[in-house]
């Protein structure tokens, strides 16, 4: 089975999440992207506790596309310090993994 990765981020508006998702898929940096939410996040920022409504984006990609995908997300993310987390999928449906690899090729 070809390994795949799930890259996750959150943003403060659905429209921004949709733009990030579409740009990654259109650029073949991700085979698909799922937008979910809203979810309320509570965190510390600039010495204050904040609660913000956010939307998550999960990108499915091939390992050799992770670096470029993370760079694209960082370059278009509205946050000063964006959450970008990469998870390596060790076990999954081999047919899905092959599809992810095929869809991230030009």
Q: Provide the domain count of the chain.
A: 1
Predicted confidence (pLDDT) per residue in 31-83, tens digit: 999 999 999 999 999 999 999 999 999 999 999 999 999 999 999 999 999 99
Q: Report whether 58 contacts 2 (CB < 8 A).
A: no
Residue 6 has what pLDDT?
Answer: 98
> Which CATH number covers residue 52?
3.30.70.120
Q: Report whether 104 contacts 29 (CB < 8 A).
A: yes
Domain that holds residue 25: 4-103
The DSSP code for 29 is S
Q: What are phi and psi of 30, to 5 degrees?
A: -140, 145
Tokens of 20: 């990030």
């Amino acid at each position: 089975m070809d390994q795949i990765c799930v890259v996750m981020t959150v943003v403060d508006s659905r429209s921004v999440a949709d733009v990030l998702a579409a740009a990654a898929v259109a650029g073949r940096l991700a085979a698909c992207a799922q937008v979910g939410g809203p979810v309320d996040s509570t965190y510390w920022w600039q010495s204050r506790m904040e609660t913000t409504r956010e939307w998550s984006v999960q990108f499915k990609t091939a390992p050799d596309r992770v670096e470029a995908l993370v760079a694209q997300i960082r370059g278009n993310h509205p946050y000063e310090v964006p959450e970008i987390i990469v998870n390596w999928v060790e076990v999954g449906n081999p047919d899905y993994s092959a599809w992810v690899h095929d869809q991230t090729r030009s």
